[in-house]
Amino acid sequence: MTRLQKIQQKLKSLEEAKAWRDEIKDQKVVFTNGCFDILHLGHVTYLAKAAELGDKLIVALNTDRSVKAQGKGDERPINPETARLMVLASLEFIDAVILFDNNTPLKEIEFLQPDILVKGADYDPNETDPSSKKYIVGRESVIQHGGEVKTIDLVDGFSTTSILKKASK
């Protein structure tokens, strides 16, 4: 198998990810999500730390449509979902990448039942109010199935928005 084929093998539909999840049920599966539009140090650090929390890491990636729906600007995403999928899958510590098209990955979290749900430290794993910006979608489902919800500190000074502001100067 070529290196490119190994990368492509990590790209999964939700159903393929579930079958894979069922095959590795004895391993601790970590789940996170995001746009990951322009991959930077903050993303790589966050994802590597997320992977260290378990045995396998699944990343749910926003589709182009769902990125636009977040109101990040008309030019976003900069990179199309096909490119963002491949870049994420090329990271050795990511084991599977799936797309999600809704505003949140709740359906994917409920379907895959990860052992650990991870978000950045700008969220609060103890927040129970879904209307709060600090609320982690899917937390109740993960906890109900015996899993954990955790946050990871972000790297100061690195965000796609700040990189785009610098580039436009």
CA dist 17 and 33 (Å) reads 14
Q: For residue 110, how many other CB atoms are within 10 A of its CB? A: 14
- pLDDT tens string for the chain (169 positions)? 999 999 999 999 999 999 999 999 999 999 999 999 999 999 999 999 999 999 999 999 999 999 999 888 788 899 999 999 999 999 999 999 999 999 999 999 999 999 999 999 999 999 999 999 999 999 999 999 999 999 999 988 777 777 777 777 7
Q: Can you list the positions of beta strands (E) in the chain?
A: 29-34, 56-62, 96-100, 116-120, 148-152
Length of the chain counted residue by residue: 169
Write out the DSSP string of 35-64: ---S--HHHHHHHHHHHTTSSEEEEEEE-H
Q: Which two tokens stand for residue 86?
A: 């491949």
Domains and CATH numbers, the chain: 3-167 (3.40.50.620)
